[in-house]
Structure 1
């Protein structure tokens, strides 16, 4: 099937990159954003994360880069390292057949001197990073802003929430006047509007109404691995009940091989699909899966993209994908055509931020655990955030007053108790001050 992105008259290397990622048809946001950016319009795009907006701006901007010009032409900011890394990874995939285009990642947590050295050797055609690090590089004259023609602010509402809008403002003000700007956000808060008016006259507004990110027919489960053997957890999940067809996703070939070997050793008939398998063998495996010769399939994201496996009743994320958009693609394999499906995501301690990012996309998880061979409800991982702070220790007299008031059902007893607590605190504060003054006087006498 011919790649539908050809309608936009993109450079061949971009089409090659999309084909390599098995992306052949544009999403609704891409249908609107790509031609608008190619026409040179400023854009305010409002859509949920996971709608395909990363490709919506990367595809046209990379196609407009002039690789013969040794200067920075595109700057893209994201509010977190993780999001910047995701954009960078997609950009690298899109230029894999056009290595002359230089893309630099400028984020905190990486060796700053190495980043500076790289910039001094050659200016990147595209700079992708967090606002703080990009502004640092501009202020130190390591990243030259005078040649920038396109500026993208991704996740603008999150940028505002995290206090980076002033930094982004400083970045934008360093660029030339003839700047094409695109701002993408899940919502457009009122505090963001002055920034938009400052840099964009009559921008094209592209708004896609939020849709359910995951089908209502999918039960979306979250399980904390807590250092337990993930392979064992996966085995328990796939042998629990009677799933029709299970798709297990991992991020790397090595992880896919390890899960596949473990399940096979347990006596399960399991297939694996990843980029390291020869095309002929891969086609054979896919035919066998379509013929229902396998009940379990372990795969990487890119190997499974574009492959339609019908009848998937369960998806297991053995690892959280590096790109959040892949999460949607994974979970979207089940619960199709009104059928019920189950999606299970395993996460380790320290991955709470990644889960929070998925929740920011509108994904709702049901926290569960495996107990006695069954999935049972467990506590919300954020329970400590929501938990009410402990009351300060009160005296025995106050506790007695509370007990007595409850027993006698005194009217307005809560108000009376609060008043009593406040009075007691004032008395205690006075006593403490008095004792401190007496102690100070004693010290002065001894010195005298």
Structure 2
């Protein structure tokens, strides 16, 4: 097995990686880092959870010259959550004299501009907010040497191609450009042909999940009735540890509040949380201090916790690969798992895409198939739930 030193990562970075428990490169890192360190453009196909963030982050951090008060590295991502996640990883590893800044929507532009005056060396940004700064001339990309387009397929599907093109026009022609994508679509290939120079192609196999060990069910409901449906099924199945996936951090927060109000031991995991808070939440989940973790896809990337018995797709995942990644959090190490997906009428086409991707038609159920027990028998009274909660504390 190769080490980070074997693929030319410098000793100081290797030591910082060790402090965070990262001792050996993943396949995508092993294949990609040497090419990036050689200055080559790269187009890499890699799923979430493969370690791709470090694959592009480590070469950039290693090559930044802290003595130059210019933006030298630029990472463009489709979502704020992903920008925050990458920034969090960079802040764990960068030298003290290297400044990393996240630029995304929802923040005060003036405050972001003030931070940019503080000698940012690496900028992690969403396209729209980055363009705002370029138009206001609060940020210059004239000295950028390394550009990364992360989740390129999602970026293009979201309609960001004109923004990305406008951003790249303001970077030097001799920059190094790499694109990381879960799927290499025709759009991604067209982007690579136009903006990458003789790119090296790297592919790592998708995460393999033994679907045979995971029972998969679909409950048909409506958006309005989805929360009640989840509560009923949770009461029926009584999971030991469960992951509940939501499409956005706002929906995750709202659902977590609903669970807490009903006396469930729950917490939320999304991009608005600080790294310290994320780690605290994860420790509580691993220690079974909480039974239900409500998460967004980005926040749950790479999440690996033993003993997860149930995965609930509160919101339907965007494609088959995302579905496999989600439900693969259960049924691990030879254990059995249960994955339950809720679909509203508008989700039927998305479900067909997932079924085609996994080569299997999922079993549909309706709420009337649950045991006809009274709700108080399913959940216990609110007083009983609160009493149980106090005992656990």
Query: What range describes the TM-score normalised by the shorter chain of this pair?
Result: 0.5 to 0.7
Matches within 5 A, 1:281-292: 286=287
Q: Does 1:246 align with 2:241?
A: yes
Matches within 5 A, 1:206-245: 206-210=202-206, 215-218=211-214, 219=216, 221=218, 226=223, 236-241=232-237, 245=240
Label 1:332 to 1:14 Cα distance change in 2 as closer, same or farther (>3 A). farther
Matches within 5 A, 1:88-107: 88-96=84-92, 98=94, 100-107=97-104
Q: Does 1:184 align with 2:180?
A: yes
Q: 2:54: which partner in 1?
A: 55
Provide the secondary structure at the position in 2 that maps to 1:101.
Answer: coil
* Separation (CA, whole Å) in 1 of partners of 2:10 and 2:137: 33
Matches within 5 A, 1:315-354: 315-316=311-312, 331-336=327-332, 340-344=336-340
Q: 1:146: which partner in 2?
A: 142
Q: Does 1:309 align with 2:306?
A: yes
Provide the secondary structure at the position in 2 that maps to 1:96.
Answer: helix
Displacement of 1:29 in angstroms is 2.0
Q: Is the 8 A contact 1:315 1:330 kept in 2?
A: yes
Deviation readout 1:46-82 (Å, 9 max, x if unpaired): 234554423322233234333343210111223x3x2
Q: 2:126: which partner in 1?
A: 130
Displacement of 1:142 in angstroms is 1.9
Matches within 5 A, 1:10-159: 10=10, 12=12, 16=16, 20=20, 25-78=24-77, 80=78, 82=79, 84-96=80-92, 98=94, 100-119=97-116, 121-159=117-155
State how many pairs are aligned: 339
Label 1:255 to 1:169 Cα distance change in 2 as closer, same or farther (>3 A). closer
Deviation readout 1:243-278 (Å, 9 max, x if unpaired): 6x53446989x959x7599247xxxxxxxx984499
Displacement of 1:212 in angstroms is 5.6
Q: 1:175 aligns with which of 171, 175, 178?
A: 171
Displacement of 1:206 in angstroms is 0.6
Tell which has more relative contact order, 1 or 2 (C-alpha 8 A, sep 6+). Answer: 2
* Separation (CA, whole Å) in 1 of partners of 2:327 and 2:22: 17
Provide the secondary structure at the position in 1 that maps to 2:75.
Answer: strand
Displacement of 1:149 in angstroms is 0.8
Gaps of 5+ in 1: 265-272, 376-448
The CA RMSD over aligned residues, in Å, is 5.1
* Separation (CA, whole Å) in 2 of partners of 1:180 and 1:304: 27
* Separation (CA, whole Å) in 1 of partners of 2:88 and 2:207: 29
Displacement of 1:44 in angstroms is 1.1
TM-score (normalised: structure 1): 0.57
* Separation (CA, whole Å) in 2 of partners of 1:167 and 1:303: 27
Q: Is the 8 A contact 1:48 1:210 kept in 2?
A: yes
Q: Is the 8 A contact 1:214 1:331 kept in 2?
A: no
TM-score (normalised: structure 2): 0.63
Q: Is the 8 A contact 2:87 2:124 kept in 1?
A: no
Q: Is the 8 A contact 2:309 2:337 kept in 1?
A: yes
* Separation (CA, whole Å) in 1 of partners of 2:55 and 2:262: 38
* Separation (CA, whole Å) in 2 of partners of 1:111 and 1:304: 28
Larger deviation: 86-95 or 333-342? 333-342
Matches within 5 A, 1:382-421: none
Deviation readout 1:310-356 (Å, 9 max, x if unpaired): 5x4423478999xxx998776333223565421246799xxx9xx99
Q: Is the 8 A contact 2:218 2:340 kept in 1?
A: yes
* Separation (CA, whole Å) in 2 of partners of 1:40 and 1:193: 20
* Separation (CA, whole Å) in 1 of partners of 2:164 and 2:10: 29
Provide the secondary structure at the position in 2 that maps to 1:201.
Answer: coil
* Separation (CA, whole Å) in 2 of partners of 1:174 and 1:134: 11
Deviation readout 1:256-315 (Å, 9 max, x if unpaired): 9x7599247xxxxxxxx9844998xx79x85xx7xxxx9x844688999787625x4423
* Separation (CA, whole Å) in 1 of partners of 2:281 and 2:45: 40
Displacement of 1:86 in angstroms is 1.2
Gaps of 5+ in 2: 246-251, 266-276, 372-393
